[in-house]
Structure 1
Amino acid sequence: MNRMKTVLMTAAMLVCVFACTVVAGKTVYAAPNDTIQTGISADGMDLSGMTQEQAQGAVQSYVNELGQAQVQLQAQDGQSVSISLSELGISWKNPELVSEAVSLGKKGNIVARYKAEKDLQNKGKNYPVVLDFDKEAIRQAVTERCSKFNVEAIDAHLTRVDGSFQIEDGQTGYVVDENASVAAIYDYLTGSWVKGENGNVALVMAVDEPKGKTEELAKVKDVLGTFTTSYSTSGASRSKNVANGCSLINGTTLYPGDTFSTYNTVKPFSTENGYEMAGSYLNGKVVDSIGGGICQVSTTLYNAVLRAELEVTERHNHSMIVTYVDPSADAAIAESSGKDFVFVNNTDYPIYIDGHTADKKITFTIYGVETRAKNRTVAYESEVIEKKVPEADQIIADASQPIGVISVSSAHIGYKARLWKIVKENGVEVSREQVNSSNYKMSPRTATVGIASPDPNATSQMQAAIATSSIDTVKATISNIKAQQAAAAALTPEQLQAIAEAQAQAAQAQQDAAAGN
Structure 2
Amino acid sequence: MKMTFLTILFLILNPVMVSNDIVITYKEKPVANVSRADLMVPFLDDPVLDPDKFMEMMEQMEQKIYQRPVDATINDNGAIVSGKVGYKLDRTTFKEMFLRHFFKNTSENLEVPVVEVQPTVDEQLLSKIRKQKIGQYVTYFNSNKKERAHNIMLAAEAINNHVVFPGGTFSFNKVVGKRTKERGYLPAPEIVKGELTEGIGGGICQVSSTLYNAIDRAGVQVLERYSHSKKVPYVPPGRDATVSWYGPDFTFMNNYNQPLLIRSKKTGGSIYVEVYTSDTVEISPRDVPSVRNGME
So what's the TM-score if we normalise by structure 1?
Answer: 0.45
> Tell me, what secondary structure is at the counterpart of 2:272?
strand
Q: Does 1:173 align with 2:73?
A: no
Query: Who wins on radius of gyration, i.e. which is larger?
Result: 1
**Alpha-carbon separation, structure 1, partners of 2:20 and 2:110:** 13
Which structure dedicates a bigger proportion of its chain to helix? Answer: 1
Instruction: For 1:153, give the aligned amino acid.
Output: P
Aligned to 1:222: 132
Instruction: For 1:379, give the aligned amino acid.
Output: D
Tell me: CA distance 1:276–1:171, structure 2 relative to 1, closer, same or farther (3 Å): closer
- 8 A Cα contact 2:62 2:88, kept in partner: no
Q: CA deviation at 1:323?
A: 3.8
Identity over aligned pairs, percent: 26
**Alpha-carbon separation, structure 2, partners of 1:209 and 1:328:** 41
Q: Does 1:378 align with 2:291?
A: no
**Which ranges of structure 2 fall in alignment gaps of 5 or more residues?**
1-10, 12-16, 290-296
Aligned to 2:43: 93
Aligned to 2:211: 301
- 8 A Cα contact 1:222 1:369, kept in partner: yes
Q: CA deviation at 1:259?
A: 5.2
Select the residue among 143, 149, 174 that pairs with 1:239.
149
Tell me: CA distance 1:174–1:237, structure 2 relative to 1, closer, same or farther (3 Å): closer
Q: Aligned ranges for residues 88-487 of structure 1 at < 5 Å? A: 88=39, 90-95=40-45, 129=46, 131-161=47-77, 165-178=78-91, 180-182=93-95, 184-186=97-99, 188-189=101-102, 192-194=103-105, 200-212=109-121, 214-219=123-128, 220-232=130-142, 235-254=145-164, 260-267=170-177, 269-271=179-181, 273-312=183-222, 314-326=224-236, 328-335=238-245, 337-345=246-254, 347-358=256-267, 360-373=269-282, 376-379=284-287
State which drifts further: 211-220 or 282-291. Answer: 211-220
Tell me: CA distance 1:241–1:68, structure 2 relative to 1, closer, same or farther (3 Å): same
State which drifts further: 228-237 or 279-288. Answer: 228-237
> Tell me, what secondary structure is at the counterpart of 1:225?
strand
- 8 A Cα contact 1:193 1:199, kept in partner: no
- 8 A Cα contact 2:157 2:264, kept in partner: yes
Tell me: CA distance 1:259–1:181, structure 2 relative to 1, closer, same or farther (3 Å): farther
Q: CA deviation at 1:239?
A: 3.0
Instruction: For 2:44, give the aligned amino acid.
Output: N
**Which ranges of structure 1 fall in alignment gaps of 5 or more residues?**
1-42, 44-65, 96-128, 382-517
- 8 A Cα contact 2:69 2:119, kept in partner: yes
- 8 A Cα contact 2:143 2:149, kept in partner: no
Q: CA deviation at 1:81?
A: 1.6
**Alpha-carbon separation, structure 1, partners of 2:18 and 2:244:** 49
**Alpha-carbon separation, structure 2, partners of 1:284 and 1:184:** 62
Instruction: For 2:50, give the aligned amino acid.
Output: D
Select the residue among 26, 30, 34 that pairs with 1:75.
26
- Matched residues, number: 273
Q: Calculate the aligned-residue CA RMSD, in Å.
A: 3.5
**Alpha-carbon separation, structure 1, partners of 2:58 and 2:189:** 45
Instruction: For 2:134, give the aligned amino acid.
Output: L
> Tell me, what secondary structure is at the counterpart of 2:110?
strand
Higher relative contact order (CA 8 A, sep 6+): 2
